[in-house]
């Protein structure tokens, strides 16, 4: 095929710029990928069934957030500013270093996450979440 000025028309595509752009994109994605990973909270679905066991209530710490927003640690009134000290004190008497968080469906997720984070900072090795009855 010829153009009006007599030159041959370009019938193939130049692949070099396409490969250059693709390689640049690969390098950019490789550089950005480590920043895209977000740390999360590992949550395992409970498959436990109710039964009789050797665990007593004194071996773990019960943190409860009620519908009206009141917070208790092992049945004693607490508040979010005092939660760290209360959980830390309760964990010092706990052998298992486990905190069981009980919250109602109407509570904010942020409050429950705050309770989990504070419990871990206070020294809890295990944190469990229970639905309020």
Per-residue pLDDT of 78-118, as tens digits, reads: 988 998 999 988 888 888 889 999 888 888 888 888 889 98
Dist CA 8 CA 46 (whole Å)? 72
Identify the CA nearest to 65 among candidates 107, 100, 127. Answer: 107
Dist CA 113 CA 124 (whole Å)? 14
* pLDDT, position 41: 63
* pLDDT, position 97: 87
- Which residues, at least 6 apart from 128, have a Cβ–Cβ distance to it below 8 Å? 46, 98, 99, 100, 101
* pLDDT, position 29: 93
* Residue 4 confidence class, pLDDT cut points 50, 70, 90: low
Ordered domains of the chain (ranges, CATH): 57-131 (3.30.420.270)
* pLDDT, position 55: 47
- Is the pTM of the predicted complex or chain greater than 0.85? no
Dist CA 19 CA 12 (whole Å)? 15
Pinpoint the alpha helices (H) of 6-133.
15-36, 83-92, 109-121
Per-residue pLDDT of 6-64, as tens digits, reads: 667 777 888 999 999 999 999 999 998 888 776 666 666 666 555 555 545 557 889 99
Dist CA 22 CA 117 (whole Å)? 42
* pLDDT, position 1: 52
């Amino acid at each position: 095929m010829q153009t009006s000025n007599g030159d041959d028309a370009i019938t193939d595509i130049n692949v070099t710029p396409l490969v250059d752009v693709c390689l640049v994109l690969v390098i950019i994605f490789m550089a950005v990928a480590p920043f895209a990973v977000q740390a999360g909270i590992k949550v395992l679905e409970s498959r436990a069934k109710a039964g009789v066991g050797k665990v007593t209530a004194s071996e773990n710490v019960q943190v409860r957030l009620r519908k009206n927003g009141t917070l208790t640690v092992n049945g004693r009134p607490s508040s979010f500013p005092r939660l760290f000290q209360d959980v830390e004190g309760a964990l010092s008497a706990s052998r298992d270093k486990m905190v069981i968080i009980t919250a109602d469906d109407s509570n904010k997720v942020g409050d429950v996450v705050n309770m989990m984070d504070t419990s871990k900072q206070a020294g809890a090795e295990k944190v469990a979440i229970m639905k309020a009855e």
